[in-house]
């Protein structure tokens, strides 16, 4: 077993000439029988890190995957590559499970996918004890952490593996983990002595864009119609009702939009997810119940209609865009109401007080990231303990730096208003007092119209005041009440602001930019003269995928179609020079694609 064997599998099976990033060292480590902990961004090629060793080592690799839909997608993709692979889960009948079990015990499978719950069943552990296991791959390993955002208690029980299977190498993989979560993965899964590989969290192909929600549906449509009029994407909403409202809105506008949330039947959710994977250009409007491990590489945008609960969740959700490395957009519209809602979720949860305080801190950090006036990518990477020397040039703050004004006096006025009104009212009420309004009858009832602050900020719009309050909350100078009702109280850290010792620069909201309507960002990467060929190849891919009942990207991803349209190979043998075309796919699809290319060349 050598790296030469690994490179041979990489080229012949997957169609890639060389490893990327730290893949080669990880593959070497596992082939050599050592344990690994791998942190690599979505789209960075985590799966290859255990799939290649599984093909090279003797026996069957056991892959722990948290979701049935995810393992089915991965098995389907590997089968298209000619790999002997299977899964065991609750969707199978007795005969299907019996068939897979026979293949497993007969040594016919190179990989077997299981959920942690299935793996931990006594019958499964007994079955695996009779099998030559090449390695254990624990995917989405952040699920082991109670501090993480996808906690699954069964993941913590995987600590039994080194005891039951002491000589089998293990690899834990995740795309999202801060220092605390990394340490917990390492401890819980007994990987302290394993080799740790932490790749850059940067996703340079993703453009980050954040807007202050002001008629968010209209803002979303402006974004989609100008930037992604034909592309597949995901729109995340905080509530089930909101997903349905947004989907109806998009369908009325002429886009094909589907819904996904926990209130739907399993059958409907699975049908919508399957359609999203199989068809081009569909928008999935979903709660966070959707997305973990979605392998669709040509998602060109991820939009958030509300503030995510923390930066880990945001990073993972936006990471579902542009897995193929082509340009993609992470767009968000957020408001102070989102902060109040999420704050309430935390306070109403059954978590302990320490955990609640951590979640509130993470929420405030998320809000602070949205309020930035500097490079967003630098701050996002810093959160994951990674430094970046220069501005990214691919976020809204770099592409169009926001204007700022000195709002130190207004900030002092806002803080004073919180104090003078008893540190128990929400932002809307405080703005009423500052602007001299009595629309809220409580203002007169509480005699707050008699304060010398009353009406002192009437020349400033309610929206500007709201933005300033949000910035003060993000900075930690103001804290929401512990009941989650939106009441504000002052934090000790605000004293230097009140004394005028700290300058407060307020970010001014950008006006909505009118952008000329464009097409798919994927198509803009191809010379105009090659567009007709690209479209013809895309049409052929769609037809072949439909006949096989598989997603189009499983036939070939967009990156491969772009390479075919650009280089125009006309000989069958030259197809293997195109990235993403291995032996099995060459045999299965080569003639059909060569014929289309020849027609265009001739």
pLDDT, mean of residues 65-69: 81
User: What band does 483 get if pLDDT is binned at 50, 70 and 90?
Assistant: low
Residue 42 has pLDDT above 90, yes or no: no
Residue 23 has pLDDT above 50, yes or no: yes
Residue 486 has pLDDT above 80, yes or no: no
Cα–Cα distance for residue pair 505/408, rounded to 1 Å:
7
Give residue-wise pLDDT tens across range 316-367.
899 999 999 999 999 999 998 898 889 888 888 877 888 888 888 888 889 9
pLDDT, mean of residues 429-448: 92
Q: What strand order describes the sheet that includes 60-64? A: 85-87, 111-114, 60-64, 133-138, 170-174, 36-39, 195-198
Computed from CA positions of residues 440, 446, 449, 455, in that sequence, does the dihedral angle turn out positive or negative?
Answer: negative
Share of the chain above pLDDT 70, in %: 95
Phi and psi angles of residue 302, each rounded to the nearest 5 degrees, phi first: -125, 120
Cα–Cα distance for residue pair 363/480, rounded to 1 Å:
12
Cα–Cα distance for residue pair 70/152, rounded to 1 Å:
16
Give residue-wise pLDDT tens across range 195-234.
999 888 899 999 999 999 989 999 999 999 999 999 999 9
Give residue-wise pLDDT tens across range 236-260.
999 999 999 999 999 999 999 999 9
User: What band does 515 get if pLDDT is binned at 50, 70 and 90?
Assistant: very low
H helical segments located in 325-424: 336-348, 353-370, 376-383, 396-399, 408-420
CATH topology of domain 3-198: Rossmann fold (3.40.50)
Give rounded-to-5 percent helix, strand, coil for the chain. Answer: 50, 10, 40
pLDDT score recorded for residue 347 = 82
Give residue-wise pLDDT tens across range 547-572.
999 999 999 999 999 999 999 999 99
What CATH superfamily is the domain 526-601?
HRDC domain (1.10.150.80)
User: What band does 523 get if pLDDT is binned at 50, 70 and 90?
Assistant: low
List the CATH code of the domain at 404-507: 1.10.10.10
What 3-state DSSP class applies to 18? coil
What 3-state DSSP class applies to 210? strand
Give residue-wise pLDDT tens across range 379-428.
999 888 888 889 999 999 999 998 888 999 999 999 999 999 999 998 99
Give me the count of residues in the chain: 602
Phi and psi angles of residue 266, each rounded to the nearest 5 degrees, phi first: -55, -40
DSSP state of 192: T
Structural contact between residues 27 and 53, judged by C-beta atoms closer than 8 angstroms = yes
Cα–Cα distance for residue pair 346/366, rounded to 1 Å:
14
pLDDT score recorded for residue 524 = 57
The more confident residue out of 247 and 372 is: 247
pLDDT score recorded for residue 431 = 94
pLDDT score recorded for residue 521 = 56
Residue 124 has pLDDT above 50, yes or no: yes
Average pLDDT, the chain: 89
Residue 470 has pLDDT above 70, yes or no: yes
Longest dimension (CA), the chain: 86
pLDDT score recorded for residue 292 = 66
User: Count of CB atoms within 10 A of residue 387's CB?
Assistant: 7
Cα–Cα distance for residue pair 447/398, rounded to 1 Å:
46
Which residues of the chain form CATH 1.10.150.80? 526-601
What 3-state DSSP class applies to 182? helix
Instruction: Give, in degrees to the nearest 5, the angle at Cα 330 between 178 and 324.
Output: 85
Q: Does CATH number 3.40.50.1110 belong to domain 206-399?
A: no
Give residue-wise pLDDT tens across range 169-185.
999 998 877 788 888 89
Phi and psi angles of residue 20, each rounded to the nearest 5 degrees, phi first: -115, 155
Nearest to 401 by CA among 384, 421, 376: 376
Which residues of the chain form CATH 3.40.50.300? 3-198, 206-399
Give residue-wise pLDDT tens across range 149-168.
567 888 889 999 999 999 99
Nearest to 142 by CA among 151, 132, 131: 151
Residue 478 has pLDDT above 80, yes or no: yes
What 3-state DSSP class applies to 405? strand
Structural contact between residues 75 and 90, judged by C-beta atoms closer than 8 angstroms = no
């Amino acid at each position: 077993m050598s790296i030469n064997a690994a490179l041979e599998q990489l080229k012949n099976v997957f169609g890639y000439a060389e490893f990327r990033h730290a893949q080669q060292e990880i593959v070497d480590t596992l082939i050599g029988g050592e344990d690994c902990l791998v942190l690599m961004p979505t789209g960075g090629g985590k799966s290859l890190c255990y799939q290649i060793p599984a093909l090279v080592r003797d026996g069957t690799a056991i892959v722990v995957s948290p979701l049935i839909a995810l393992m089915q997608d991965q098995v389907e993709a590997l089968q298209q590559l000619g790999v002997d692979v299977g899964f065991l889960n609750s969707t199978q009948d007795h005969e299907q499970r019996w068939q897979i079990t026979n293949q497993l015990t007969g040594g016919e499978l190179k990989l077997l996918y299981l959920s942690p719950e299935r793996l931990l069943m006594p019958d499964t552990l007994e079955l695996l004890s009779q099998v030559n296991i090449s390695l254990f791959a624990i995917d989405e390993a952040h699920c082991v952490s109670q501090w993480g955002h996808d906690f699954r208690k069964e993941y913590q029980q995987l600590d039994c593996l080194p005891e039951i299977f002491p000589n089998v190498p293990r690899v834990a993989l995740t795309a999202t983990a801060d220092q605390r979560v990394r340490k917990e993965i390492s401890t819980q899964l007994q990987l302290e002595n394993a080799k740790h590989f932490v790749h850059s969290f940067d996703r340079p192909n993703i453009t980050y864009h954040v807007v202050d929600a002001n008629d968010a549906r209209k803002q979303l449509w402006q974004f989609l119609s100008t930037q992604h009029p034909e592309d597949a994407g995901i729109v995340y909403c905080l509530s089930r009702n909101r997903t349905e409202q947004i989907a109806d809105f998009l369908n009325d506008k002429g886009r094909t939009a589907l819904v996904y949330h926990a209130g739907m039947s399993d059958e409907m959710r699975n049908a919508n997810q399957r359609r999203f994977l199989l068809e081009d250009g569909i928008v999935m409007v979903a709660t966070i119940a959707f997305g973990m491990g979605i392998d669709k590489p040509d998602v060109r945008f991820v939009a958030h209609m509300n503030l995510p609960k923390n930066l880990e969740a945001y990073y993972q959700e936006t990471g579902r865009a542009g897995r193929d490395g082509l340009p993609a957009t992470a767009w968000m519209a957020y408001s102070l109401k989102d902060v109040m809602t999420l704050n309430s979720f935390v306070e109403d949860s059954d978590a302990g007080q320490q955990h609640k305080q951590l979640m509130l801190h993470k929420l405030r950090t998320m809000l602070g990231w949205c309020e930035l006036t500097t490079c967003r990518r630098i701050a996002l990477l810093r959160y994951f303990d990674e430094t970046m020397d220069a501005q990214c040039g691919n976020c809204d703050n770099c592409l169009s730096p926001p204007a700022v004004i000195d709002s130190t006096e207004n900030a002092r006025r806002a803080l004073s208003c919180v104090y003078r009104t008893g540190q128990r009212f929400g932002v809307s009420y405080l703005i009423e007092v500052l602007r001299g309004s009595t629309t809220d009858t409580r203002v007169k009832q509480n005699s707050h119209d008699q304060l010398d602050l009353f009406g002192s900020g009437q020349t400033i719009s309610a929206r500007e005041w709201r933005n300033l309050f949000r910035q003060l909350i993000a900075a930690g100078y103001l804290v929401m009440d512990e009941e989650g009702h939106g009441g504000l109280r002052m934090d000790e850290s605000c004293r230097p602001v009140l004394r005028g010792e700290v300058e407060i620069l307020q970010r001014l909201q950008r006006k909505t930019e009118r952008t000329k309507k464009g097409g798919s960002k994927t198509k803009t990467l191809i010379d105009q003269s090659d567009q007709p060929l690209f479209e013809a190849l895309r049409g052929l891919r769609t037809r072949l995928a439909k006949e096989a009942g598989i997603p189009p990207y499983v036939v070939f991803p967009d990156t491969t179609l772009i390479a075919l349209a650009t280089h125009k190979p006309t000989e069958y043998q030259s197809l293997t020079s195109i990235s993403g075309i291995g032996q099995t796919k060459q045999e299965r699809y080569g003639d059909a694609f060569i014929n289309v290319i020849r027609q265009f060349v001739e």
